[in-house]
Amino acid sequence: MSVLPIVLWPDPRLTETCVPVAEITPEIEKLATDMLETMYDAPGRGLAAPQVGVMQRIFVMDTGWKEGKSDPIVCINPMLQEVSEERQTNSEGCLSIPGVSADISRPAQVQMVWTGLNGGRYVQSFDGFAAACVQHELDHLDGVVTFDHLDAENRAALMTEYAAQ
């Protein structure tokens, strides 16, 4: 296992759409293990492959580990199946945009389907912070970052804040 370097904004890889993972290989298994170690080291609750420079549709998350309820998930080729009409706003940070957080409004509940490292197909519903985390990591796979969710004024202010660090 190893901690990988995290790609920082404005690296252009963070704006690219990732390609599907064709098959689960030992390299994908090692990537997932390294991504989990990197996420915990950062310390974050989610990490998508483009954030470590790999342009494939895979992300890892563990929304409860900081509260002592660790439940790591490796999501390969994830897709949302359902999203609620109800919305919630969360303050979201991003490991690729350190030191900046923004209030982002997203669906409060989502149902996601993905392939696990064992090749099995998983379907799970997420709500609250976990729903926001899932959507944030999926955004990365589609080349979307936190700034893209903001109106022009808030985007400019946060980009200035980020640049001043």
Handedness of CA 103, 95, 132, 71 (dihedral sign): negative
Joined tokens for residue 159 = 């980009």
3 state DSSP class of 58: strand
Nearest-angstrom CA–CA distance, 123 and 32: 19
Handedness of CA 128, 150, 41, 38 (dihedral sign): positive
- The helix or strand, by DSSP H or E, that contains position 75, with its residue range, turns out to be strand 73-83
Q: Is 137 a catalytic residue?
A: yes
Residue for token pair 């483009």: 50
Catalytic residue, chosen from 27, 37, 137, 161, is: 137
Active site residues: 137
